[in-house]
Chain A
Amino acid sequence: MTAAALDLRGVPCPMNWVRTRLALEGMAPGDRLDVSLDHGEPLASVPLSAREDGHEVSVNGGVVTIVRR
């Protein structure tokens, strides 16, 4: 299991989700990705999209932690 971090503050929707998805694609099941996002639309929609893709998601402040499915 590896962990990675992605700082996507300042990156608007849907580019932030595109970047997140591409990062997840390069990881293995069970790997963890911490994504820093802006408040508002990014923090509202990226966790939702990640859950829709079947990943395990938790939000802590401005950081979304995604465990790859």
Chain B
Amino acid sequence: MSLSDLEVERYSRQLVMPEWSGEAQERLRSATAIVVGLGALGSPVALYLAAAGVGRIGAVDPDPVELSNLHRQPLHFTPDLGVPKAQNAAVKLRALNPEIQVDPYPARFDALNGEAIVMGADVVVDCTDSFESRYAVNDACCAAGVPLVSGAVLGLSGLVLSVRPRESACYRCAFPVEPAAGSVPSCREAGVLGAMAGVVGSIQALEAIKLLAGIGRPLLDTMLQIDGATLEQTLVSTSRRGDCSSCGAVPAAAQSR
């Protein structure tokens, strides 16, 4: 189905891009993206995916909006305090773009529900804030064969990696061993600047759109490290591990059953 007049007008400034096309826009419209975590990274990711016209967005987060979230989570506003983030995200994203469908999942993404949440999606964007949850999202994506954009931000440093399961290195290939508890400070201990999370989340949204529309060259087998203090960026090569418990012969999600 071709684009309506309203869609052509709404997306006109990306439709004029030489890299873009009506076909790319239609690919986005027929796509499903799952955003796991609707905080500092998930806010810009969900906003940009909705604005760009991704047809269906699954918004996953178990927590309510808290006052201490607001300095870095521009999806949530002061009157939204106490509202579940998944529900609030659905309201805000539908207001931004009524052409799309938003499905809220007010639940913690884990090994039990993960595969069901990502099944059938075209891309998953991991915007969670712990190694445990990043491994859970990665395992579910590898088991279901769904492309993943993983991101992390800590203080003024950020990291992004895109994954095509069984074609490129997954998050567990890149980080096979979880750092010992306490060796990595929690988000609350380390602190984070909202604008820096916005940089990383915007890059994740860009990666997700590239994967969905089939344009550009995503960060496959390549990690982007970015230092907000100097804005120095480093591309670090990574590669698949034959013995990876996520994307190797026997997926971790299957082992845990």
Contacts and interface: CB of A to CB of B under 8 A. Distances in A.
Contacts of A39: none
A14 B2 CA distance: 19
Interface residues of B, number: 12
Contact of A25 (B9, B13, B21): B21
A4 interface: no
Contacts of A28: none
A49 B3 CA distance: 21
Interface residues of A, number: 12
Given A19-B8, A22-B8, A14 B16 contact: yes
A15 B21 contact: no
A14 B12 contact: yes
Contact of A15 (B3, B9, B22): B9
Grouping DSSP codes into helix (H, G, I), strand (E, B) and loop, the B interface class, with mixed when no group exceeds half, is helix
A29 to B, nearest CB: 15
Contacts of A22: 2-3, 8, 15, 22
A53 B16 CA distance: 11
B21 A18 contact: no
Given A19-B8, A22-B3, A25-B23, A52 B18 contact: yes
Contacts of A15: 8-9, 12
